[in-house]
Structure 1
Amino acid sequence: MFPTATLLKKVLPIGGWVNSRVLKDHSKRVAFAAAEERRQALRFITRNTQLSQMQRLKAQLELNSMHAHTRPTQIKNRCIMAGKGRGVFRDFRMCRFQFRLNALAGDLPGVKKASW
C-alpha cells in the first residue's frame, strides 16, 4: 500500500483548504510551539552579562544549531479558509475575500456591514 493512503486517514487540526503550503506552515507552527521555551531560555542565557563568557557562548552555539522551523520569523499568517498568504486579517485569520463572504453571511459574531 502506498504511504499516501495512510496520510489521508490522519486528521490534522487545520482549517478548511489544505495544500502543501498550509501543511508546511502548520508543521512550522508545531515545531515553534514545541521549542519555544528552550529557545527563550537560551536567549536569556546569551544576553545575561553576569554569566561567564563560556556559558554564554555554549548557549549561543546551541541556539544557532536549532532547526530553522523553530524561529518565529518562519511562521507566515495564512487564511484558515482558503490557505492564502496575502491580505490576511490577523484578528480573524482570514483573507480579505473570505472575511467578506463570512461577514455578509453573518458567520462572524460582532461583525456587520457599515452603514451611515
Structure 2
Amino acid sequence: MPNIRVLRDIKARKGVAANEITRRAYLFVARNQSLPAQVRYQAQLQLNSFGRYTRPTTVKNRCTETGRGRGIISEFGLCRFQFRQKALAGELPGVHKASW
C-alpha cells in the first residue's frame, strides 16, 4: 500500500492533467499586454480560483515505494536505495550490477 505522500502526488498529477488546458488559456490571457486590463484581471481571478492540486508546481517526483522525495531515478520512479535493492534482487529488467 502506498503511503500518503505518494497518494498526494498521484492526486496532484491527475489534477494538473485535468486542468492544464484551461489554466494555460487563462494564463495566456492574464499575461497578454495587448488585451484590456479588465479582461486580464478577470483571467487572473479565474487562475486564483483553481484548487491547490491544479498547479504544476505541486507535482514532485517521489519514490513509488517509499514516498521519498530525494534521489529519484525518474525512469523507474524509485529512490536510489530502492532502485539498488530491486536491482540486486533482480526485480528490474535489464538492470544488473556492473562488473570490473
Per the alignment, residue 46 of structure 2 pairs with: 62
Aligned residues: 100
* Separation in structure 1 between the aligned mates of residue 96 and residue 29 of structure 2, nearest angstrom: 48
5+ residue gaps, structure 1, are 1-16
What code does the residue aligned with 2:89 have?
Answer: A
Question: Is 1:73–2:94 an aligned residue pair?
Answer: no
Residue 84 of structure 1 corresponds to 68
Q: Secondary structure at the match of 2:62?
A: coil
Q: Give the % identical residues.
A: 53
Aligned alpha-carbon RMSD (Å): 1.8
Give the TM-score taking structure 1 as reference length: 0.73
Structure 2: any 5+ residue segments left out of the alignment?
none
Q: Alignment partner of 1:97: what SS?
A: helix
State the Cα deviation string for residues 42-69 of structure 1 (Å, max 9, x = none): 1111122222221111111111121121
List structure 1 segments (4+ residues) > 3 angstroms apart after TM superposition: none
Contact 2:3–2:66 (CA under 8 A) maintained in structure 1: no
